[in-house]
Structure formats: structure tokens, C-alpha cells
Structure 1
Amino acid sequence: MWSLYEAAQLRIHEEDILKEAHDFSYTNLKSITKQLSQSLASQINQSLKQPLHKAVPRIGARSYMSFYEEDPSHNKFLLTFAKLNFNMLQKLHQHEVADVTKWWKNAEFSRKIPYARDRVVEAYFWPLAISSDPKYSTARRLMTKLTACISILDDTYDAYGTFEELELFTLAIQRWDISAIESLPECMKVAFSAFLKIWDEIEPVTKSGNYSSLQHIKQAFYKLAQSYLVEAKWCHEDYIPTYDEYKENGIISSTLPLQIIAFLGFAGLATKQVCDWTISDPRIVKAVSLIGRLMDDIASHKICVAVSPTTSPRRIAMPKYLCQSQTLLQNCYTF
């Protein structure tokens, strides 16, 4: 029954049989957990809350080892090696986080850009979720720095700049011309300089023969800035977008198109053909991005509204759409 429930997570839109299997297995598992051993019941409850297919592999592995250790029939040697492997790899991940944290503190972003949130550890979980493999250590470090820069960009549009300033800021990102921001506040200049520096650090890594994916990454970064400007315009004009408008812009503002193409470049997996395909808005990238956008907004909606209904422009239309969230997520696979 448990296996059926996990398998049903792989269903796509209009696979009604798997949808029925999911509902059937979920209901039955929920009803029998009190009849099972504490260890097995804990595993099933965790799976019902977050299925294996939708979890971060490293976090799932750590949880499973605890459950496995409680099983009387567990293999002690296998468990010992699993713990050793996990701890060794965790040390590498800790060094990666420490390296990026040092970069953040040395850049003095907290002082120079006071509106920017310190989200280094949170940013690290994005590339870690993509791959925890030791060979992608450099990719994870660079991806975390880029994600931290994306967070600064997001906060600049959401919490600081006026609409007129943001228009100039977006234009400067399009041209990558620092002279275009001379009239902007100092903290926005610091943010822009940070973006330029990250490109210098990224460039050597993104080269493969005569090709570099840096231009594709820059293009995706500019498209992200454009999507944030659209949201700022909605807020500036007190405009509530339609769902189609929200969806089209949200695919980009999810940051996933940028993160996908960036990780491919950092990991040495990008070719011109791969990058051209990725930025051509293929359906799979759209689906992943929209799912990410909807789940992020659904998760943060109550907190955001409690603070201020207009704290983040992209939250404006959410109350109308949240009641249809399950249908929207299922329809993410249809464009």
C-alpha cells in the first residue's frame, strides 16, 4: 500500500487511475497508522506529509537511517558505512556553506544593503537539492552565491527601490553598464557591483572549449529582473493581474529557469545546444517553474498577508487563486 502511494506521486495530468490510486492509498495508510509499530507509523506519516519523490534526497537519507536503525533486522555493517559516508559528505557540505558565508560577510552586504535578507544557508539548499555529489562542489558554491545575489535582487525590487529607480536598475542589468546607475542610491550600486563581481568569478568555470554559457546565464538573470519589474509595476499601479498574467510572469520570477541553466554551466554540463534549448521555454522547464512558483506562494501567503497584503507584489492575486491551488498544480503540465 505504501509503495502504491509513493508510485502514485509520479502521475501526471489526466492520469486518472493513478489519481484514484493515490487517494485510495493515502486514505488507507492514514487509517491504519495507529495499528502499526511506532517506527513504521513514523515513516508512513512522514511519507504522507512529504513523499520520497518530493523530498530532498540528502534529508530523506538522514531520516531513513534513523528509521532503519530502529528496525531489529537492520544490517549493522551497512548502517555503519552509511553513517560514515553521510558524515564525510556532510563535512564537505559544511565547508561549502562556510565558504559562501565568509564571502557574504566579507562583502558586508548586511551593512551596505540593509534591506537584504541573509539567506545563505537557505540559498545553499537549492543546489544541494539538485545534487549532493562531491564532484559538484564548485557548482554548489557558485550556485549558492548566485542564489544569494538573486535574493538581493528580489529584495531590491520588493522592499526598497521606487518604480522609477527600478526601471533604471533593470536597464543597467540589460546593458551591464555601471554608469547607468549613477543616480541610484548607494545600496543599489553595491548590489549591482556584486552582480558584476559574481560574473567575473563564474566566467572561468562556464567555459568549455570555445563556448561559454555565461551569456545565457546573464540573459536569464536579466529576464528575472524584468519579471520582478513587472511585479513592481503591478504594485505601483495597484493592479491585480489575471491568473494567466500571474502564471506567465511567475514562471520567470520563480528563478528556476535561471537556476537550471546556471547549474548546468557550473557543473560543466552545458553546451550551446543545451543552453539554447533551456532558454527556449520548453514545457518541462515551464512546468517545474510554475509548480515552484505556486508552492512558494501558497506556503508563504498567510505569513505575507499577516504582515502586509502588499509586502510582495507577486502575492497580490494569491487570495483569488489559492482556493484552486490543487487544480492549478495539476494543470501545470498543460500549456
Structure 2
Amino acid sequence: MSASIPEANADNQSASFESPAPATPLAPAAEPRRRPRVVALGGGHGLWAILRALITMDVDITAVVTVADDGGSSGRLRRELPHMLPPGDLRMALGALTPDSEHGRLWGSTFQHRFGGQGALAGHPVGNLLLAGLSQVTEDPVKALDAAGELLGTLGRVLPMACAPLDIVADVTGLDEDPAAVRHIRGQVAVATTPGCVQRIYLEPSGTPACPEAIAAIMNADLITLGPGSWMTSVLPHLLLPDLEKALSATAAHRMVILNIEPQAGETDGFSPEQHLEVLARYAPGFHINTVLADTGAVVLPLRLASAVARLEAQLLLTSVADPAGAPRHDSLALARAIAPVVAQAVVPRR
């Protein structure tokens, strides 16, 4: 049986149907909040301090670490495994990013544990040996570092500045009877401990490419920090690698230089805070500094430093960031408080 359509009656013959009112346009959905991307460059204890500060903040962290260390366990492993990156500074950066959890404390302390005794393992940290093994298994230093970070549950990523080991070389005067005679000093330890006046410092092999992942992190960063740390052997090398220096000069990120609490013995004896900045400007004139962070107690002549910072067209942030116990090192919590406003202002809008 087919269904019949009822006829319209008198009451509804004139009825008409109105088109529904156009829908109110929906407001575009708000984009999810993006965590600021911070890239910290350095090595050793200085990088440790800044990374410990950053893990207290709601930011995405990438550490880019020097690969020219040739002392201690790293030097021994470099001699035994010539193509391996020196693991010491990389291990310290991974340790700094390890969370304060039961898992993190166990693996973090194990990773940093140094073998004692007199045997072949004496003096080697567990993490150095693990990174050596991972590097051989993966045949890729970045994959090895990512795997170690996954094991530790790190709160950020650690990358090498280059995927091949480098040597720091310095031309030094003042080591001979002839004060103008130049000696070529090779190696991070030798450069850091040799007296005399450094005329020039450079990396070998020359032309070594930077780590591609490090370049990408720098170009996508909102804030880049350089320092604190050994100025000639942990800070300056990032500006001596051509690919890395180009990226640091081209990035849209805010660039912050963090000055040391005191001069580094054997490297920057007698350097004033402004001389530290002059070194960076001399070697990398294209690297524009936006902010200089210095500890109030470490600056004897603040007006002189302020003038030097102004000449660089940067801003000086002078505040207390030193260890309250009086040790010549930075306090991570104080660093976090000082950096937080800079991070908030540095986020670069990206599509």
C-alpha cells in the first residue's frame, strides 16, 4: 500500500515555511598554547646550571653541547675510539635534564657514577661508557643521545654541536723569551691551562659541519642562551663552527648571553665582564646579542658593563644569580627567576 499525502486544509493552505536564519559564524578556534622553545648552548658545569634552571620552567628544552673535550675519561675514550664524540659534557647535560623522581634519581645517579679502583675502568663514569656503547650500536651520535635520554626520562633533548669530534687550537704568545713568538696549543685541556696571551682560537678539522638537528633547533627557538661556562673552551666554540655561527646569526630567536660569576682560571684571568663580550663580538660579529645577564656581585663597574652592552645594542639584566652560599657558581633557582620574564617576552609567533 502506498502512503498518501494529506491535502492541505483551509487553515494551512496559506502557510509558508521560512528559511532558517543563517547560523552565526563560529569564531576561529583558539590555537593551543605552545610551550616556549629554549636552546641552551655550552658545556660542563655552566651548562648544567642553566639546564637545572630550565627544567623548573614550562618550556621545551634543547641543549647543544661542545664536542672538543679531551681530558679525563673523555680524553681516554677519544684515544681508544677515535671517531667517538667526547661524552663527558654530553653526559652532564643529560644528567642535568634528569627529573627529580624515583626513576630519575636512580638512573641519574647511576649515569653519573664514576668507577673507583686502579683498573681499566677507574675514573670512567657509567654514562660515558653507556654513550660509547650506544654510539657504536646505533652508529649515530644523535640516536645514541636520544636513546640515553629516553632511558633517563630527561625533560629535554641533548644534541652535539657537531657529529664528529673537534679539537680546540689556540695561537698563544708570551711563552718564549721572544714575547712575540707564537705557539700553537692544541686541545681543550692544554688551551685551558697554558699561560700566555691567546691571540687566536679556532677549531679543527676546519669546515666540520654542524649537527643538522642542532641547526634546526636553533632556527625554531624562541630563546637561545649562551653561557655560562669556560669562555674559550665551552662558550666560544659554538661561534667558531661556521654552520652554527650562521644559524645563530640568522635565527629569529632572542639571544641571551649569561656571564660567569668569576674569570676562568687559565682562560680568562684578568678579564672584565665587558671583555668577555668583546671576545664574542670579535669572533662572531654577526651574532647579535639581545640580553646580557650578569650577577650583581660579580660586576665591579656596572656602568662600564652597561656601556659595553649598550654598544652591542643589547639590554643588561643585572641581578643576583650567584650561589647564596658564596661558591663561585650560579644558583639554578635564581637563574630561573631571572630568565622567566625573558622567556615570556621572547616567544616568536610561528605558523
TM-score (norm 1): 0.31
> Which structure's relative contact order is higher, taking Cα pairs within 8 Å and 6+ residues apart?
2
Structure (1/2) with the larger helix percentage: 1
